[in-house]
A = this chain, B = another copy of it.
Amino acid sequence: MKESPRSNAEQAGPAPEPVLGTRARIVRAASLLMQRQGYDGTGIKQIAQEADATLGSVYHFFPGGKQELATVAIDHGDREFAEALGAALGDADDPARAIADFAVSLADRLAESHWVDGCPVSTTALGSVGRLPDVRSAAARAFGHWREVVSGALAEAGIPAQDAHELAHTVISTLEGAELAAQVSGSREPLEIAAKHLARLVDAYR
């Protein structure tokens, strides 16, 4: 069960990335591939190949099969995005500007990936709404976490709790929708405009 994450590369060379265990590599590959191709568009064999693991290892760590893998992949994307969001908004005294900058950084990442690496949750979640309850609820938790990060930052900047709660909803919704529009149209424009409008909206509540 437990693996030493440093079984090789022991003498701490300049290698920046830690050596991932098999389970972690599988999770990372599943998250990345499902982010790009969705649940049905991603095969378990493809995940195993991308993770440099065998099919047997995948089912060893995830006996629940593809569904379990999908929920774990969404949890992974949840944490990843929450950290980025927290880092961007954490100690900002001007949350409106911080949110706008974060939206532009999403456009940067998206353009770098040629518009394929969008939200790590929405693609997987959308196609499985009425069909895979565990996947759907994992996605709902993720959205909730992200709203908490935004709402906390807004409250810390002096915005009343109820306003902060509602603004957090619209900030996350608009970022999601603008990222989707940017992917589909292959353009930074939706996210850049969303940055401007979200800043204006947040500032109206101070």
Contacts and interface: CB of A to CB of B under 8 A. Distances in A.
A127 interface: yes
Nearest to A41: B40
Given A125-B184, A169-B190, 15 more contacts: A37-B40, A37-B127, A38-B40, A41-B128, A114-B130, A115-B129, A122-B180, A126-B126, A140-B184, A140-B185, A166-B197, A172-B177, A173-B177, A173-B181, A200-B201
Nearest to A139: B184
Interface string A163-206: 00011011011111110110111100110011011001100100
Given A177-B175, A177-B177, A197-B170, A183 B36 contact: no
Interface residues of A, number: 50
A102 interface: no
A158 B140 CA distance: 39
A126 B38 contact: yes
10 contacts: A36-B129, A36-B130, A40-B40, A116-B130, A122-B126, A123-B127, A174-B178, A176-B177, A177-B177, A177-B178
Copies of this protein in the complex: 2
A183 B114 contact: no
A131 interface: yes
A122 B123 CA distance: 9
A120 interface: no
Contact of A37 (B131, B167, B180, B197): B131
